[in-house]
Amino acid sequence: MTDDLPTSDANAANSQPGKQPSRWQRAAAVVGRAAAAPFNAADYLYRTGQANRHFTLPILNGAFGDQLAERNDRRAIQMSFRRHAADVPVTSLGLQPTPDGRPRKTVVFLHGLMGDEVIWQAGSPDGLRYGPRLQQDTGANCLYLRYNTGLHISENGQRLHALLTELLTTFPHAIGDLTLVGHSMGGLVIRSAGYYASRPAASGSGTAPAETNSWLPHLRHVFLIGVPNDGSFLEQNSHFTSVVLRKINLRPTRFISGLIDKRSNGIKDLRHAILVDEDWQDPHANDLFPPRTLVPPLPGVRYHVLVGSLLKSANSALHDYFGDGLVGAGSALGRVFGDPGLPPEQQISTRIFPKLHHGTLLSNPEVYQYLQNQVTGDR
């Protein structure tokens, strides 16, 4: 019988046209695939890890970055401009005006929680993402920041303010109109930086004196892409769960509550979009409805509030609550941007992009076209 053939004979029989593999051959193939599965899985995990290894450190910082910074751990990310996967001092950016001596439009991109500058540069199925495409299409200086998303948003806001001040001081003739683009938490950091830059005097660590606030007169556009301007429903649910478990006051619930509370200060600030030091330092900061300082739009700056929606229609409670899946549309729109009491000259543009989730807001042709049109001055 074929089942009893030696391996060489079985292979020869199997090579004959129209010859079906025997039970022995089928069983051997199954065993071979099963034996190779762990190696194939390990290879897949390795290749995936290598392709996304740049995210490892940002994820660690997003989860525990405040604790790393407190211990002066070398893994704590320092806010810096980035080029070629490395930190770049401001003085080494080498920004130049146009050949005829005019300052260039400059665009600074800020990632969100647990992200890094790569989200603006690569990973789109259509090729280049917003940053390189914008530089290629408009000739603008496109700069990318990386920062420790586990720190308080206000701490990163003050550091951004100081870094932009240094940028304008170092390259006063190379930088013209300034545009800031923030995704998710990055938009809150931009709003916090604007708050500290507009204050009449220095207050708190990392804040420069008012007379050095040279970047605000250059600021023309702020893009807030999927930004939880009124807080994150996910973090609100985490905080509420922790409070309830702590109130139950049993050993297991106290243990779980303690684990939840280990999340970073940056994540906790997302609960109500805390943008200033005084709010998280307040004794009532952990109340269900804590104090929150109003941070209005900066005068003379055009804000572009870009909102994603998992749904086709923007007229539903589900859209308001879930929005792009991570940021509710109601929060992304932000009450402060819809305030009827804003000065009539304040420019607020709002766009809702249906059937886009939090991540695809960063790789959508319509979103990019809107960004390009505004930066180049088209309306």
Residue 311 vs residue 193, higher pLDDT? 193
Residue 310 tokens, joined: 């998992």
Q: Report yes or no on whether pTM surpasses 0.85.
A: no
Q: Indicate whether 201 pLDDT > 70.
A: no
Task: Dump pLDDT digits (tens) for 90-114.
Answer: 999 999 999 999 999 999 999 999 9
**Cα dihedral sign for 240, 246, 251, 255?**
positive
Give the Cβ contact number of residue 51 at 10 Å.
10
Phi, psi of 241 (to 5 degrees): -60, -45
Q: Indicate whether 170 pLDDT > 70.
A: yes
Give the Cβ contact number of residue 231 at 10 Å.
20
Q: Percent of the chain beyond pLDDT 70? A: 81
- Please, what is the average pLDDT of the chain? 86
Q: How far apart are CA 179 and CA 185, in angstroms?
A: 17
Q: How far apart are CA 60 and CA 42, in angstroms?
A: 22
Domains of the chain: 7-51 (no CATH), 57-232+290-376 (3.40.50.1820)
Task: Dump pLDDT digits (tens) for 261-309.
Answer: 889 999 999 999 999 999 999 999 988 889 899 999 999 999 999 999 9
Q: How many residues does the chain have?
A: 379
Q: Indicate whether 42 pLDDT > 50.
A: no
Q: How far apart are CA 47 and CA 209, in angstroms?
A: 48
Q: What is the pLDDT of residue 4?
A: 46
For the beta sheet containing 80-83, the strands, ordered from the edge strand earlier in sequence to the opposite edge, are 86-88, 80-83, 141-146, 104-110, 175-183, 219-225, 302-309, 347-354
Q: What is the pLDDT of residue 161?
A: 97
Residue 301 vs residue 127, higher pLDDT? 301
